[in-house]
Amino acid sequence: MKKTLLIISIISVGLSACRKENTFEGPSINEINSKFTILEPFKANKNSADFETSNAIFTARFNKIVSWKITIKGSISKATKIITGESKVIDASNATWNGSTTQFPLFKAENCTATLLIASENDSTSTTLAISKTKPLPTGARMIANFENGLDPNWTKFFQSGASMECIVKSDNFAPEGNKYLNMGGTVNWDWLIGLVDFNARAYQNNVTFPFSTNPENEYFNVLIYGDPSTNLTKALFQFKEDENGDGVFDATKEDEYDYSIDVTWSGWRLVSVKYADIVTLVNGNPASPNGNKQHNPDKISKISFLQLADPNLGFARCKIDLITFTQNKAIDL
Amino acid sequence: MMNRKTILLMMFALISMQGYSQKARKLSFVGGARSSVFSNSLNVTDTLPDTTTAKNNYGGYALIDLGFNIQPNKQTEIMGMFRIKNNYGGFWGSGVQFDVRQLWVKGVVGNAIRYQIGDLNLKQSPFTLYNHHSDRLDSLPSIFRLQQNIISYEQFYQNNTWRMQGANVDFGLTFAKYLKEINFNGFITRLNATNFANVNERLMTGGNINIVQSNQLSFGYTINRTFDLKATTANNNLFNNTIHTFDWKLNHSIAQNTLSIAGEAGLSNWNYSEDTLAPVLNDYFVHAYANLFIPSFHANISLGYLNVGPDFRSIGAQSKDVNYNSPTVFFNRFTNNQQLRPITLIDMIGNENIYNKTIGSTLATESELFNDILPFGLATFNRVGAYAKLQTQSKNKLSFQAELYQLNEIRGQGSLALKAFRQLKLNSNIPLHNLIGFSKKLGLQLGMRLQQTTRESEFAVENIDLKNIQYSAGIQYELIPDFEILAGFVQQRNNGNSFITERNEYGEVTYFRTSNYQLKQQITAVGLRINFSPKAYLCAMLQQSSYQDLSTVNDKAMADFKINQFGLIYNILL
C-alpha cells in the first residue's frame, strides 16, 4: 500500500512538473487598461485604387485592443462603406476594401475620405483615397439591365396613362450605379398595374433563352430597388418565364412561370437578392403549382418581366430600379 | 339466429377478455401528472420609476405523462411515454400540447448482453461524460428542492446523467481465477442532425472496460469521442474531441476502517480538420484521492489532488446544465430601458427555461456569480490543487459535511500572474426531533459555501479579489402525519472585482471585461405540503426573491428588483 501511494504521488507530481506555463491566454489585461495610444498612424496602402485589379488595405496599430470603425465616404456619390473590428492591429486581415458599398449608391471614380473612429477613446483620424476604377461586377455575373443606354427597343414596355405618370430612365443624383436608373411612378386609380417592362432574351444577342446555367441552386437574381415610403406601398413583381420546349414562345398554360414579389417597404436603395431555386409560382399573390414541368430551369428562361403594382385606391406610388443581374453561386456583392 | 349471434358475441367478449388479461401481465403504465399554478409580481427600484413593464403575471399548466411499458417477452422491454400539457387558459384544444416524451427499447441478448435503443440517460466518468450540476446549491432547503426536483424530472437529470438518443450495450464476464470480473460498456448517440447545407451530422461514441481483480483492486479504461460524420454535407471541416482515461481503485483495511485510493488520469484532443483558424488542443488531467471510511463514526475523510490542463477539453463533461444565455421567460425584460433581467436565485431554483436537456457542442458560458471556482465541476480546465472532505453522521441521524478546495490556475488569463481559488462548504442536516425527543418530525438544514478568487500581479490593474458567499437554511415540521410546514432561505453575496472572459466560437479567450460586484440576492419561502403518498403531494408556497446591486463602481448597472411568487403544485408520480 505504501508503495502504491508513493507511485501515485510520484506520477502526479511528475505530470504536474511537465507543465511549464510562462505565457497567458487572451490579451494582456494590463494592456487593455492602459492609456490608449496610436503606435502606427491610420493610412491606406495606396493613394489611388483600381478595384478592377486590386483591393485597398487600411493599416494602423494601437497599444491595446479597441473597437474601431472605418467609414469611407465618396466625395461625389456620397456612397458609404463601413468596416468595423475589434483588435490592436488594423491590416489586410480585417480592413481590406474591395470597392464595395455598405450604404448605396455605389462608389464612382472619385476621391474618398476614410475616417477611423475609436469610440471608446473618443478619438478619430482620417486619410484620403482616390478611386481610379470602380469595383467590377463579379466574374460570371450576367447583366440584364442597368439602364445606362436607356430602354432597349427590344424590351417590351407598357406604362399606364394615369395621373402624374413618370416611367422613364432618369439620370440624376439618385443613380445608385452608373448614371442612370429606371424610375416608375404615377397614380392609376383603376388598376394595380402601373407599368411593366419585359426583358426578352431575344434582346440579348438574339438568344431564345438567357445564357444561365441549368442548376437553379447556383443562380442568384439581384436587383437594386429604391423605396419611397412617402408614397403608396409599391409591389415590385418579377416574373421568370421558362420556354421549356424551346419553341421561342412562352405558353403560360403549359410552361413554368416563377414569380418574385417584393413589398418595397423601405426608404432609399436596397439590394434584393434571391436564389432562383427559392422563387415560387404565385397566382394572385399566393403560392401555386407551376403549369409546366414544375422544375426550375434557369437555362430556359426566355423572358424576365418587371411589373410595378400598387393598390389603385391609395393614390400615387413610385419606385426606382437599377442593376438587374444574375450571378452564380452567391448573391452579388456590391 | 339471435341465439347464434349472442353466442358469437359472448365468445368474442370472452376471447377479448382473455387477450386483455394476458396483455395485462405484460403491460404496465408509468408516468406522472402535475398541476402547477403561479402568480408572480415584480417590484422594481430604479432611479426613474419603471412604467413600461407589466408587473404581474399569472400562469400555470396541467400535464400528464402517460407511459406504456410493454414486455413482449422476458428479454425485451419497450417504453413509450406521451405527454399532454395544457396551459391554463387554453381550452378546447388551443394551448394543448401533445409530445412524445420517452421512447426506448431495451433487452437482453442470450442472457448476457444488455442493450437499449432510443432515449438514453448516459454518464461515464467525471472527465468524459458527466452532468456535474456544478452551480447547484448543495444544501438546498426542502421547499426549494421541490422545485429543483421538477426541473430534474423535466430535463431527465438522474444521478449526473445527460439525456441522449442512440444505442447502448453492456455486458460482463466473470472468472474463477486471477480476475473477478470484466465489465464492458459502449454507446453511440447523435448530438446534432445535419442541416444538409453546412452543419454535419455529429455523433458521440463512448466505451468503458472495468476490470475487477478483487474486492481490493479494480481498474478501467474509458474512451469518449465526439466527431462529425464525413460527407453528411459538403462541409469537410470536421470536428473531433477524443478523451482517453485510465482509472483505478484500491481498497485496504486498517483495523475496522477502510482506506481507498482511487483516481483517474487521461488525455484529450480537440480539433477541426480543415479550419486553420481553429486551435488544436491537446492536454491531460490527473485526479487522485484517498478516502478513509471509519464505520465507528460513520465518517468518510477524503484527501484529493486535482490537475486539469488548461487545454483539456471534453464536451461531455464540460457542458453545463444551466444556460446563462437563455431568456428567463417570466419578467424577461424590465425597467424603462427594457433591460434583460439577470438570472437570479429564483431562476436557478425553479425556472426550467434556463436548463439544458442535453450537452452542447461549444464551451458553455460560465457565471462567476454562481461558481467561479469549478464551473465545470471536477472537469474544469486550468486548475491544479488539492481538496479535503469530511462526511459524518451521528447515531441520531445528525449529519455534517465539510469540503475545502485550494486550487490555482495553471496558465494565466490575460496576465502572467495566476489566480488562486479557495472554496469552503459546510452543510448539516439536523433532525431536531431526534435530538430533543420530540414526537413530530422537525428537521433543520443549514449550509454555507464560500468561494474566494484572488490574483496578485505586478500590475495592480490585473489584481483580483472576489468573494462569493452563500448561506442557506431550511426547516421542515410535520404538523400532523403527512401535513408539513416548510420554510427556506438562501442568500448569496458577491463582493469584489474580477474580469469576465469573452471567448470566440472555438473557446479561445478574446477579451476581458472588468467586473465589479457588490451584489446581494436572496430568496425566502414558506409553504404547506400534504403528502398523499410517498409519490404524491400538494404544496402551496409563498416565496420572495430580491436582487440588490450595491456597487457604486459600475453606477448600479442593474436596477434592484423583487419578485413575489405564490405557487400551488400538485405532483403525482405513477
String of DSSP letters for B122-150: E---TTTS----TTS-TT--HHHHHHHHH
Q: Which residue of A has its CA nearest to B385?
A: A16
Which pLDDT does position A329 carry in this prediction?
Answer: 86
Cα A198 to Cα B422: distance, rounded to the nearest angstrom: 76
Which candidate from B307, B459, B511 shows the least CB-CB separation from A16?
Answer: B307
Closest CA relative to residue A322, chosen from A155, A181, A148: A181
| Strand arrangement of the beta sheet that strand A193-200 belongs to | A156-159, A193-200, A301-310, A234-242, A257-264
Q: How far is A89 from chain B (nearest CA, A)?
A: 14
CB-CB neighbors (< 8 A) of B416 in chain A: 22-24
Cα A8 to Cα B304: distance, rounded to the nearest angstrom: 12
For chain B, give the mean pLDDT: 90
User: Is A22 part of the contact surface with chain B (CB cutoff 8 Å)?
Assistant: yes
Q: How far is CA B459 from the centre of its chain?
A: 39
Closest CA relative to residue B261, chosen from B274, B280, B248: B248
Model confidence pLDDT, tens digit, residues A54-87: 999 999 999 888 999 999 999 998 899 999 998 9
Model confidence pLDDT, tens digit, residues B172-210: 999 988 899 999 999 999 998 887 777 889 999 999 999
**Amino acid identity, position B9:** L
User: Is A86 part of the contact surface with chain B (CB cutoff 8 Å)?
Assistant: yes
User: Is B288 part of the contact surface with chain A (CB cutoff 8 Å)?
Assistant: yes
Which pLDDT does position B546 carry in this prediction?
Answer: 96
Average pLDDT over residues B242-263: 95
CB-CB neighbors (< 8 A) of B310 in chain A: 21, 25
Which candidate from B290, B461, B510 shows the least CB-CB separation from A29?
Answer: B461
Residue B22, C-alpha cell as written in the block: 394476458
User: Is B457 part of the contact surface with chain A (CB cutoff 8 Å)?
Assistant: yes
Question: Is pLDDT at A260 greater than 60 in this prediction?
Answer: yes
Cα torsion through B355, B361, B363, B368, rounded to 10: 0
Residue B172, C-alpha cell as written in the block: 460482463
Which pLDDT does position A95 carry in this prediction?
Answer: 95
CB-CB neighbors (< 8 A) of B509 in chain A: 25-27
Question: Is pLDDT at B3 greater than 80 in this prediction?
Answer: no
pTM > 0.90: yes or no: no
H or E segment to which residue B6 belongs: helix B2-26
Using CB atoms and an 8 Å cut-off, which of residues 103-142 of chain A contact chain B? Answer: none
Q: Which of A34-38, A152-156, A228-232, A249-253 has the lowest mean pLDDT?
A: A228-232
DSSP-derived pairing of the beta strands A123-133 and A48-50:
parallel
User: Is A32 part of the contact surface with chain B (CB cutoff 8 Å)?
Assistant: yes
User: Is A8 part of the contact surface with chain B (CB cutoff 8 Å)?
Assistant: yes
Q: Which of A207-221, B289-303, B415-429 has the lowest mean pLDDT?
A: A207-221
Question: Is pLDDT at A204 greater than 90 in this prediction?
Answer: no
Contact between chains at A26 and B413 (C-beta distance less than 8 A): yes
Which pLDDT does position B327 carry in this prediction?
Answer: 87
Residue B437, C-alpha cell as written in the block: 425527543
Which pLDDT does position B121 carry in this prediction?
Answer: 95
Question: Is pLDDT at B1 greater than 60 in this prediction?
Answer: no
Q: What distances in angstroms separate CA A327 from CA A100, A220, B339, one per listed residue?
A: 16, 5, 43
User: Is A11 part of the contact surface with chain B (CB cutoff 8 Å)?
Assistant: yes
Which pLDDT does position A9 carry in this prediction?
Answer: 58
Question: Is pLDDT at B6 greater than 60 in this prediction?
Answer: no
Could you tell me if B343 and B367 are in contact, meaning their C-beta atoms sit under 8 angstroms apart?
yes
Q: How far is B263 from chain A (nearest CA, A)?
A: 9
pLDDT band at A11 (very low <50, low <70, confident <90, very high): low
A-B contacts at Cβ under 8 angstroms: 83
Strand blocks (E) in B213-361: 217-228, 239-254, 257-272, 281-294, 299-308, 333-334, 339-340
Model confidence pLDDT, tens digit, residues B105-118: 999 998 899 999 99
Complex ipTM more than 0.90, yes or no? no
Contact between chains at A27 and B501 (C-beta distance less than 8 A): no
Contact between chains at B290 and A5 (C-beta distance less than 8 A): yes
Q: Which residue of B has its CA nearest to A9?
A: B288
Average pLDDT over residues A207-224: 91
Model confidence pLDDT, tens digit, residues B350-384: 999 999 988 988 889 999 999 999 999 999 999 99
Cα B306 to Cα B423: distance, rounded to the nearest angstrom: 14
Which candidate from A16, A24, A65 shows the least CB-CB separation from B511?
Answer: A65
Which candidate from A4, A11, A30 shows the least CB-CB separation from B415?
Answer: A30
Could you tell me if B98 and B90 are in contact, meaning their C-beta atoms sit under 8 angstroms apart?
no
For chain A, give the mean pLDDT: 89
Which pLDDT does position A7 carry in this prediction?
Answer: 60
Contact between chains at B414 and A8 (C-beta distance less than 8 A): no
Question: Is pLDDT at A327 greater than 60 in this prediction?
Answer: yes
Contact between chains at A30 and B412 (C-beta distance less than 8 A): no
Average pLDDT over residues B417-445: 94
Q: Which residue of B has its CA nearest to A19?
A: B410
Give Cβ neighbours of residue B22 (< 8 Å, ≥ 6 apart).
none
pLDDT band at B22 (very low <50, low <70, confident <90, very high): very low
Which pLDDT does position B91 carry in this prediction?
Answer: 60
User: Is A21 part of the contact surface with chain B (CB cutoff 8 Å)?
Assistant: yes
Which candidate from B259, B305, B511 shows the least CB-CB separation from A26?
Answer: B511
Residue B572, C-alpha cell as written in the block: 403525482
Contact between chains at B510 and A27 (C-beta distance less than 8 A): yes
3 state SS for B319-375: CCCECCCCCCCCCCEECCCCEECCCCHHHHHHCHHHECCCCCCCCCCCCCCCCCCCC
Q: A283-293 in b/e burial notation, b at 16+ Cβ within 10 A?
A: eeeeeeebebe
3 state SS for B529-574: EEEEECCEEEEEEEEEEEEEECCCCCCCCCCEEEEEEEEEEEEEEC
Which pLDDT does position A230 carry in this prediction?
Answer: 82
Model confidence pLDDT, tens digit, residues B50-106: 888 888 888 889 999 999 999 999 899 999 999 999 888 766 556 688 899 999 999
Average pLDDT over residues A4-32: 70
Question: Is pLDDT at B120 greater than 80 in this prediction?
Answer: yes
Question: Is pLDDT at A23 greater than 90 in this prediction?
Answer: no
Contact between chains at B459 and A29 (C-beta distance less than 8 A): yes
Cα B202 to Cα B187: distance, rounded to the nearest angstrom: 14
User: Is A13 part of the contact surface with chain B (CB cutoff 8 Å)?
Assistant: no
Contact between chains at B415 and A29 (C-beta distance less than 8 A): yes
Cα B299 to Cα A117: distance, rounded to the nearest angstrom: 65
Cα distance between the two ends of chain A = 74
pLDDT band at B410 (very low <50, low <70, confident <90, very high): very high
- Percent of chain A predicted with pLDDT > 90: 61
User: Is A29 part of the contact surface with chain B (CB cutoff 8 Å)?
Assistant: yes
